[in-house]
Structure 1
Amino acid sequence: MGLGTFGILLVLIHASAACEFGPFPYSTTGIACRMTKPAALLLNQETARVIQAAFRNAKFPNITGERSMRLLGKVAYGLSNIQVNDLSIEQSEVELKENDAIHITIKNVTAVFKGTLTYGYAGAWFLQLFHSVDFEIESSIDLQINIKLMCQKDQVAADASDCYLSFHKLTLRLQGDKEPGWLKQLFTDFISFTLKLVLKSEVCNEINFLAQVLANFVHDLAANFVQDEDIRLDISLASDPLIKANYLESHHKGLVLYKNYSDAFSDSVFSPSLLAESRMLYFWLSEHILNSLASAAFLDKRLGLTITGEKLKVTSSGVVPSLLHILGKRVKICLNTVFFSVRASFFLSRYSLGHLLLNDVFKTLLYKFSGFQNDPSIRNFLQTMISVVGIPEVISRIEPALTSLMNSKGLHLFEIRNPEIITRKGYVIVQLDFSFPNHLLLDFLEKRL
């Protein structure tokens, strides 16, 4: 197959795997995620581990070749059992090229390749048996990788096929070689040229494979994080991922999926201008998505709360005891039949060492009651109960419940710093800084490779 035909096939494969979006993709965005350059620089510190894994897991094929020499006839050789030892990386740099790719430069990768060299001569007047000798090749290499982000099968995919290797040093050492010096020079020239081609092919293929595996791993991690039993979010892409000079951004549908509950959404107010660039990580959540989650949780019977006993009789203001004394049984009957909804604004105070704390200062409290329009005493009673007893009780239940849920998703493995939840009309923004746990990547590489 010619290179031209192969290139056409690649284009067709990418075209067939691409996603289709409507003329206004932001209108269906329920969740947006922005990772800024400081986060990219932090994650780049782990690039060395990925590159080392790429070198060690690359499958180097046996290399064979021959060359015609005067008097000697043909000199044939073969390299086998090629392995990588003593691998180190001096420096890694990352740059976000706007509307193009994530450009990663790996400087001064030093490695020693070991294996077995088999060689022999086939002349017109004689045939000499092949000899085998162990060899070592010391190398110093720079890598340049351009990672493009795209949509494939409705999720973010990484393409790292744009990969280049530059060799600054490639020195061949033959162990126990008794042949004349010209033979070593001959093999140095041949093997160096051939090995460069093989290294570029195999290492770049492995890097591209790892990039795709990591992209799938992040997607699976996110999908697991937004699912709990029968309730989950559809994180299919609503538009192509963005690469800007200062951030990476992806937009997701975020529709709630729960049994027979159906959700639709086409009037999102999202715009990239709503998110800043000063923090490491941003999440934009549509109010519609949050309301749908609450509805699904209600249908799943997760939002029921019964307040009884002393919590109904004692408040700091003393209003409730007097009302209970005056209203008597009537209040008990009304409390059994009243339906009301409460909406409270509060923000995340701290999530550290696997524990969630909610701020206990409420900016707004809105009540909607069914009935009692003409009975201010009962309305005041219910408002007092909600403010003094209900909301603190809800917080005391939400904190451990959300803490347990987030820890079960592995969030406690990250060091999250200064998280904030900002509420606006129609949406919520979560912004935070974080530290990346080194062992998480190591565990991933050990399990997947």
Structure 2
Amino acid sequence: MERSAALLLVLALVNISCCCLDPPAAYGFTGAVCRLTYPAAVVLNEKTTEVIQAAFQHAKYPSVEGQRSIGFGTVKYGFHNLEIHNLSIGKSEFELKENEGIGISISNVSAVFKGTINYGYGSWLLDLKQSVDFEVESQIDLVINPNLYCGKGKVAADTSDCYLTFHKLKLLLQGDREPGWLKRMFTDIVTFTVKLVVKSQICKEINNVANILADFIQEQAEQFLSDGDIGVDISVTSSPIIKSNYIESYHKGLVIYNNTKSDLSTSVFNPSQLTENRMLYFWISDGFLEPLMSAAHHDGRFNRNISGTELTDLFQTELSSARPESLNKWLSSEGPMLKARSVSVPHMWTTTEGTSVRAVAGVELLLDSQDMPALYFETDVTVVVNASYAEKKLILKATAERISITKMSTSEGPTEMEENLRGYLQEAVEKMGIPKVISYLEPELTALMDEQGLNLFDIINPEVLPQDGYVIVQLDFGFPQHLLVEFLKRTLN
């Protein structure tokens, strides 16, 4: 019993800790990896100023109250309605600090802060209350050293290492028409307060925006990989790794269907499997892809009915053997319909030759005049599929590796022509069936990806590289401006 309890405790701890393990320990639980290299970070940094600008504009600047003794009395003051205007940002520079974080320097941030000073002066001689509008012209440099970590199963950012340097801070009180003594008294107070408030709120808002952005990107990724009742869990298994030339994040890649989540604990990932020559890499395990195919099977995604001219055109394909007379008769009958479906869960595995898929398909030919199928057969098919993406379309190339007709029955019962029919169907599956399935999959998968916005990305020379037990997708890209616009809308609302 003690051993059993200890074992259960260890398993429970492993189950809890596998959400955020050290990278080497996390590899075995990793179904998907994203590597963003330095050239990609350069492209993303070009838009950093827009994100920082959103942080400045979205920050809420609190009211501040205080008092100061002057002469024989006390001045009580309050700063209210602090707002930012005329914001402009110079340039942004960054570096990837190996095993530390990211260094970002934003220079020449010019802004005008506007607000109202309410003040009162009280003494035994005078009781004065006044409200004055003010402006502060500023020029700021900003340094942020974000640290990426694993927080609640997602990539999170800690930007608390945040510094603002003020090169210019000029106070204007109602166009400088106020008495000189008032301006002199408030210059130090206002400039000190603005520095304190702006630094606190800007650094706080940058941290907020950084985490909103991290969540937004991961939500977009989960949405892209999900459809209908099929979802995915891409929670991180470890904190991201930062090297001088790339940032790499590790994700579970678990498929969710009917409230059931797939399991993956034998991943073959190793960082050496990826290079640094392209801007963006996705490493995808068979342990992620196969449950995805299983969910699609159970969700009825692999069913198709063919009738009318589509059916007659399909059988115009020339084969080496003549079409059996019984099949001619059925096809020329009134209203023939061919129904095809996957009979069992397809099995898939990837090698350097491509992704192999083994499936058993059931096919029945139905006639309007009959209750029972005129023809039913099952075929065990193994194909090797290679994928590519060009001109915003998915291209699949399938090569038959093994085909056999495992079951066959006709409404006419056993006939002398049965063997001829079996041989004909086997060739038809290879030369008609497989190309037909591919002709459905290519546009439908392309449309599915387009629904998730893939066609809005500027993807440059993508490559799909099958390996033993995993697939690598590598590409260059132009910045997806639509994503930034959508993110900024969400942030500023």
- Please indicate, yes or no, whether the TM-score normalized by the shorter chain is above 0.5: yes
Q: Aligned partners of 2:132 and 2:163: how far apart in 1?
A: 31
What one-letter code is carried by the residue in structure 2 that aligns with 1:319? S
- Determine the structure 2 residue equivalent to 1:276: 275
What are the within-5 Å matches in structure 2 for residues 276-425 of structure 1? 276-305=275-304, 309-311=311-313, 313-316=315-318, 318-320=319-321, 322=322, 324=324, 336-352=376-392, 356-358=393-395, 360=397, 362=398, 364-369=399-404, 371=406, 381-382=424-425, 384-425=427-468
Equivalent position of 1:49 in the other structure: 50
1:11-53 alpha-carbon deviations (Å, 9 max, x no partner): xxxxx99954387211111111111122222122222222122
Residue number among 424, 446, 449 corresponding to 2:489 in the alignment: 446
Q: Show structure 2 runs of 5+ residues with no match.
A: 1-15, 331-363, 366-372, 408-417
Deviating more after overlay: 142-151 vs 389-398: 389-398
- Is the contact made by 2:396 and 2:438 (CA closer than 8 Å) also made in structure 1? no
Q: Name the Cα RMSD after superposition.
A: 3.0
Match of 2:61 in 1: 60
- Relative to structure 1, the CA distance from residue 48 to residue 20 in structure 2 (aligned partners, 3 Å threshold; closer, same or farther) is closer
Answer whether contact 1:72 1:121 (CA < 8 A) is retained.
no
The residue identity in structure 2 corresponding to 1:193 is F
Deviations 1:242-285 (A, max 9, x none): 12211111111212222276632221111111112222221111
1:3 alignment partner in structure 2: none
CA distance in 1, matches of 2:449, 2:126: 72
Structure 1 pair 167/341, CA: closer, same or farther in 2 (3 Å)? same
Native 8 Å contact 1:416 1:434 kept in 2: yes
Letter in 1 for 2:99: N
* Counterpart AA for 1:197: L
How far, CA to CA, are the matches of 2:106 and 2:273 in structure 1? 34
1:186-197 matched pairs, under 5 angstroms: 186-197=185-196
Alpha carbons of structure 1 residues 24 and 377: separation in structure 2 relative to 1, 3 Å:
farther
Which residue of structure 1 aligns with residue 214 of structure 2? 215
SS in 1 for 2:401: strand
Aligned ranges for residues 216-295 of structure 1 at < 5 Å? 216-259=215-258, 263-295=262-294
Say which structure is richer in strand: 2
Alpha-carbon contact 1:312-1:385 (below 8 Å) kept: no
Q: How far 1:365 sits from its partner (Å)? A: 2.9
What's the offset of the Cα at 1:327? 9.3
How big is the shift at 1:212? 1.3
Match of 2:134 in 1: 135
| In 2: Cα distance, 1:35 partner to 1:237 partner | 15
User: CA 1:273–1:17 in 2, change beyond 3 Å: closer, same or farther?
Assistant: closer
In the TM superposition, what are the counterparts of 1:420-431 in structure 2 within 5 Å? 420-431=463-474
Alignment match, 1:8: none
Match in the other structure for 2:11: none
SS in 2 for 1:224: helix
Q: Is the 8 A contact 1:18 1:153 kept in 2?
A: no
Q: Which moved more, 1:340-349 or 1:204-213?
A: 340-349
- CA distance, structure 1, for counterparts of residue 485 and residue 262 of structure 2: 39
CA distance in 2, matches of 1:436, 1:384: 47
Larger displacement relative to structure 2 (166-175 or 290-299): 290-299
Once the two structures are superposed, what CA deviation does each residue of 1:97-156 show, in whole Å capped at 9, x if it has no partner?
111212211101000111122334333x42231222221111000111121111122121
Match of 2:477 among 430, 434, 449: 434
The structure-2 alpha-carbon separation of the partners of 1:265 and 1:279, relative to structure 1 and needing over 3 Å to count, comes to: same
Contact 2:49 2:89 (8 Å CA) reproduced: yes
Conservation of the 8 A alpha-carbon contact between 2:76 and 2:121: yes
- SS at the partner of 2:96? strand
Letter in 2 for 1:153: K
Bigger RCO (CA 8 Å, 6+ sep): 1
> How far apart, in 1, do the equivalents of 2:419 and 2:163 lie?
76
Partner of 1:113: 113
Partner-residue secondary structure (3-state), 2:103: strand
1:85 counterpart = 2:85: yes
User: 297-306 or 208-217: which moved more?
Assistant: 297-306
- The separation in 1 between residues aligned to 2:314 and 2:484, in whole angstroms, is 50
Amino acid at match of 2:461: N
Give secondary structure in 2 for the equivalent of 1:301. Answer: coil
Say if 1:191 and 1:19 are closer, same or farther in 2 by CA, change over 3 A.
farther
For 1:112, the aligned partner's letter is V
Q: Distance in 2 between matches of 1:425 and 1:324?
A: 42
263-272 or 112-121, which moves further after superposition? 112-121
* Cα-to-partner distance string for 1:338-367 (whole Å, 9 max, x where unaligned): 321232222213152xxx24155x5x4322
Identify the residue that residue 6 of structure 1 maps to in structure 2: none
Inter-partner Cα distance in structure 2 for 1:32 and 1:435: 20
Give me the whole-angstrom Cα distance separating, in 2, the residues matched to 1:99 and 1:326.
Answer: 71
Structure 2 equivalent of residue 13 of structure 1? none
TM-score (norm 2): 0.78
**Paired letter, 1:310:** T
Equivalent residue of 1:346, what SS?
strand
Name the structure 2 match of 1:168.
167
Question: How far 1:84 sits from its partner (Å)?
Answer: 0.6
Asked whether the 8 Å contact 1:311–1:389 carries over to 2, the reply is no
Q: Which runs of 5+ in 1 are unaligned?
A: 1-15
Quick check: 1:18–1:152 contact (8 Å CA) kept in 2?
no
- Give a deviation string over 1:39-78, Cα, whole Å, max 9, x none: 2221222222221221112111222233333x45333332
Give the 3-state SS of the residue equivalent to 2:135 in structure 1: strand
Q: Give % identity.
A: 49
1:139–1:168 CA contact under 8 A, matched in 2 = yes
Whole-angstrom distance in 1 between the partners of 2:438 and 2:169: 64
Distance 1:80 1:17 in 2: 47
User: Could you tell me which amino acid in structure 2 is paired with residue 404 of structure 1?
Assistant: A
| Post-superposition offset of 1:231 | 1.5
8 Å CA contact retained: 1:351, 1:419:
no
